[in-house]
């Protein structure tokens, strides 16, 4: 291993290889602070060619590779196991914007580019990169692709899988596969890039991507609607979706408990509207300039039908940001409140109210002392059905997971919609996928990483 460290220094420079325990701490622990592994070192290549040489050197010296982006994932997919021969390959130095094609609506970037910077680059070119999520100030493009990130605008633009046109990957043997093509249509063989989108670093290291851009949103309307029940909220969503069509880009669902939790930590906050049991936060955007009237008309119809009790429409961009803050602050409020069992599940959109009722009843009944805090993306069926646990350790998160995921299975849903399997849900995956599906996953893994050196322990058991 000493010889490997010397080789990595020769490839990337001594300053790009970290070995000290204090330097490794931020890389070997996941964002939630639940999983901590060990690593021989962290290496930070600056180019795809350095990355390829790093991966080849790891293979030559018998080390395993753990690709890592911004380390903001919630499933510990970028956290190494307790292995003495793990090398974390951080893409943090690879932040070059390779090209911007505004007329063609494409943007080619290194995998280490931070999402917020990509959004700003697109904005400066008069275009939109629509992926948006709470960690956009630190999440990197490579990690977002590796986890097929969703965010708040999936309803209109799709997940990361829909936003990637081309991909550059370093395989487990150090081979560079250059698929950086800015093509909307390409039927020349298997669409191999799709294997790496959502692969969580288990098949190779993503080093670059060609991303889809969209016309700038010139007219945007944000509104918050209070609803008496989850069913009423989903009825309102259906009505608004029909009224606003493709202009409806986001529709978030959350419970008043989340609002109460945030207010508990900051009593100075003033609610934007009278309290309701449930809220829909919606955003509509268009390249055309007149949209407010359509949103207001849709909300009026929802009120008339009894789906919405009250609502508020942002009049300025500052007010819109303030409304979004009520939704985006939920995770941080949860983290401050103590331990929790987090769930990133999806069910059919029409089944959301029934799932929420069934899951909440089962969790509260089987695990006394917990507090259910569901929120998520009403438009695509992705619910973060999180459960706050008692601080005395009387309730085990794994048992809560089992309860929630069993109910998800009843609705033919998925145990992860956007965070990925990682290490957090790895052992549960075979329980929720057929033997035939698991054989396909393992066959793909073996074909591209026959020695099992790419991110071992993530997604699939060693």
- pLDDT score at 327: 92
Among 331, 357, 377, the domain-final residue is: 331
Give yes or no: residues 237 and 269 share one domain.
yes
Give the number of domains in the chain: 4
Each residue's pLDDT tens digit, 422-434:
998 999 999 999 9
Give yes or no: residues 83 and 120 share one domain.
no
Residue 210 maps to a domain: yes
Residue 183 maps to a domain: yes
- For 265-288, give the secondary structure using H, E and C: HCCCCCCCCCCCCEEEEEEEEECC
* Distances, alpha carbon 442 to alpha carbons 77, 173, 266, in Å: 17, 18, 48
- pLDDT score at 389: 95
Give yes or no: residues 326 and 254 share one domain.
yes
Residues 460 and 132: their CA atoms lie apart, in Å, by 28
The answer to whether residue 250 scores a pLDDT higher than 90 is: yes
Residue percentage of the chain with pLDDT more than 90: 84
Residue 78 maps to a domain: yes
Give yes or no: residues 103 and 208 share one domain.
yes
Give yes or no: residues 59 and 111 share one domain.
no
End-to-end CA distance of the chain: 21
Among 274, 300, 331, the domain-final residue is: 331
- pLDDT score at 20: 92
For range 41-66, the mean pLDDT? 97
Each residue's pLDDT tens digit, 377-405:
998 899 999 999 998 889 999 999 999 99
Give yes or no: residues 48 and 73 share one domain.
yes
Each residue's pLDDT tens digit, 301-326:
999 999 999 999 999 999 999 999 99
Are the C-beta atoms of 145 and 195 separated by less than 8 Å? no
Each residue's pLDDT tens digit, 320-369:
999 999 998 998 898 888 999 999 999 999 899 999 999 999 999 999 99
Give yes or no: residues 41 and 140 share one domain.
no
- pLDDT score at 289: 66
For range 268-296, the mean pLDDT? 90
Give yes or no: residues 210 and 261 share one domain.
no
Give yes or no: residues 136 and 160 share one domain.
yes
Give yes or no: residues 49 and 101 share one domain.
no
Residue 430 maps to a domain: no
- Predicted TM-score (pTM) of the model is 0.82
> Is beta strand 310-313 parallel, antiparallel or unpaired with respect to 17-18?
unpaired
Residue 46 maps to a domain: yes
CB atoms within 10 A of CB 16: 19
CATH classification of the domain holding 270:
3.30.70.2190
- pLDDT score at 292: 87
Give yes or no: residues 236 and 283 share one domain.
yes
CA dihedral 357→360→362→363, nearest 10 degrees, is: 170
Residue 146 maps to a domain: yes
CATH classification of the domain holding 46:
3.30.43.10
The answer to whether residue 48 scores a pLDDT higher than 90 is: yes
Residue 105 maps to a domain: yes
Would you say the C-alpha torsion 140, 141, 147, 148 has a positive or negative sign? Answer: positive
Look over the chain and give the mean of its residue pLDDT values, rounded to a whole number. 94
Residues 164 and 404: their CA atoms lie apart, in Å, by 32
CATH classification of the domain holding 143:
3.30.465.10
Residue 178 maps to a domain: yes
Residues 16 and 43: their CA atoms lie apart, in Å, by 6
Give yes or no: residues 31 and 43 share one domain.
yes
Among 148, 180, 215, the domain-final residue is: 215
Range of the domain at 365: 338-424
């Amino acid at each position: 291993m000493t010889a490997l460290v010397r080789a990595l220094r020769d490839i990337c420079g001594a300053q790009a290889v970290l070995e000290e325990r204090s330097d490794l701490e931020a890389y070997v622990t996941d964002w939630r602070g639940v999983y901590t592994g060990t690593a021989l070192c962290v290496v930070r290549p600056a180019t795809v060619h350095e990355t390829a040489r790093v991966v080849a050197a790891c293979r030559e010296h018998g080390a395993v590779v753990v690709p890592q982006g911004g380390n903001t994932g919630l499933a510990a997919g970028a956290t190494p196991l307790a292995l003495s021969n793990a090398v974390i390959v951080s893409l943090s130095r690879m932040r070059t914007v390779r090209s911007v094609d505004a007329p063609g609506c494409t943007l080619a970037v290194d995998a280490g580019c931070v999402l917020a910077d990509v959004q700003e680059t697109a904005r400066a070119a008069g275009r939109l990169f629509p992926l948006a999520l709470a960690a956009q100030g630190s999440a990197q493009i490579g990690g977002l692709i590796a986890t097929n990130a969703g965010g708040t605008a999936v309803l209109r633009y799709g997940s990361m899988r829909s936003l990637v046109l081309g991909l550059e990957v370093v395989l487990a043997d150090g081979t560079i596969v250059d698929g950086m093509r800015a093509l909307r249509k390409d039927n020349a063989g298997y669409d191999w890039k799709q294997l790496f989108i959502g692969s969580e670093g288990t098949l190779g290291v993503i080093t670059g991507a060609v991303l889809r851009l969209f016309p700038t949103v010139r007219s945007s309307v944000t509104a918050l609607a209070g609803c008496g029940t989850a069913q009423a909220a989903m009825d309102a969503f259906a009505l608004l979706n029909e009224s606003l069509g493709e202009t409806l880009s986001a529709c978030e669902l959350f419970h008043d408990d989340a609002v109460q939790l945030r207010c508990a930590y900051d009593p100075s906050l003033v609610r934007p509207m009278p309290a309701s049991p449930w809220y829909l936060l919606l955003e509509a955007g268009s390249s055309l300039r007149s949209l407010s009237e359509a949103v207001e008309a849709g909300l009026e119809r929802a009120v008339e039908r009894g789906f919405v009790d009250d609502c508020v429409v942002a009049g300025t961009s500052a007010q819109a940001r303030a409304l979004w803050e009520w939704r985006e602050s939920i995770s941080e409020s949860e983290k401050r409140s103590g331990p929790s069992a987090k769930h990133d599940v999806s069910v059919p959109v029409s089944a959301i109210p029934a799932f929420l009722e069934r899951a909440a009843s089962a969790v509260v009944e089987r695990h006394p002392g917990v507090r259910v805090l569901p929120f998520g993306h009403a438009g695509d069926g992705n619910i973060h059905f999180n459960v706050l646990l008692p601080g005395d350790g009387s309730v085990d998160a794994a048992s809560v997971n089992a309860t929630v995921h069993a109910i998800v299975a009843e609705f033919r849903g998925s145990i992860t919609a956007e965070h990925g399997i990682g290490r957090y849900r790895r052992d549960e995956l075979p329980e929720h996928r057929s033997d035939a599906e698991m054989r396909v996953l393992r066959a793909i893994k073996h074909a591209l990483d026959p020695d099992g050196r790419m991110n071992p322990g993530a997604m699939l058991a060693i």
